[in-house]
Amino acid sequence: MLSYRHAFHAGNHADVLKHVVTIQLMRYLAQKETPCMYIDTHAGAGVYALDTGYAAKNAEYETGIARLWSRKDMPAPVAEYVQLVKSLNPSGKMRYYPGSPYCADRTLREQDRLRLFELHPSDSRILEENFRKLEAHAAAQGQRPTVRGKRVIVQVGDGFTGLKALLPPPSRRGLVLIDPPYENKMDYRSVKDTLADALTRFSTGTYAVWYPVLQRMESRQLPDKLKRLPANGWLNVTLSISTPSPDGFGLHSSGMFIINPPYTLEPMLKEIMPYLVSVLGVDDGAGFTLESGETMAVFTGKRRV
């Protein structure tokens, strides 16, 4: 199904959760000198304009990055994420939002590798073009250029299938982000099956899955199915900004499920999730949950009125 375009949702509350968590996972991997590989199974276009086109239609970024843009009280991991977004907007005006590939490129190092899959033909072309522009901009600013064709490879195709050929990465260190559209309910099964296969090839890798929290059965069951995979540990965090609408439409909540998370992730989330709820929440339905396979404890929090 090729109708989905992430630009409609760029910068919303779900992107905030996804990108804050993903940046911290990459920061952890970059602490060791050994190179690592970042694999994005559904990379999208890489960078999104917020003031024109798809993103401007519903302005979903107003539920996310816009609420953080001028804050001065952010916890360090949230501030790092916002600063990365601002680096794409040197004028100070919020015009562009980075997708996961841009976040990875700016967070990882020259020796690390990025492998980006995108099935949508238009978005894959835009992704390639965006990296060409980023390379030119970096060179003009005297910054480290992105070496396309070696450090960054964009592949047009199904990331669920393409992932197999990349595991394990040569360095045996890596992060896989799985973020499909979920328009087709088969995506939920593909996530679980892909992870089951990936863990047989690269059992020590870190895997991060973004998923919508919806009423449909497949969405509700996905976290429990992922918990049963044969991994060394897992962490599941959800962020809700409002009470679900009576008609069931609209995305009010999303989650990140991380397999083999670093030990630093759980305490970081305990710190920032109450803050995100307080800033992004819009009614009494706002809150978060945090579950860990290590402690088997469940943390919850609601918006303070």
Tokens of 83: 């600063």
Could you say which of 105, 112, 123, 179 is catalytic? 179
d(CA 226, CA 258): 9
Cis previous bond, 170, omega within 30: no
In sequence order, which residues have a C-beta less than 8 Å from that of residue 289 and are 6 or more positions away? 236, 237, 238, 298, 299, 300
Q: Are 282 and 241 in contact (CB under 8 A)?
A: yes
40 is catalytic: no
Q: Are 255 and 210 in contact (CB under 8 A)?
A: yes
d(CA 69, CA 55): 17
User: In sequence order, what are the beta bridge partners of 148?
Assistant: 152
Active site residues: 179
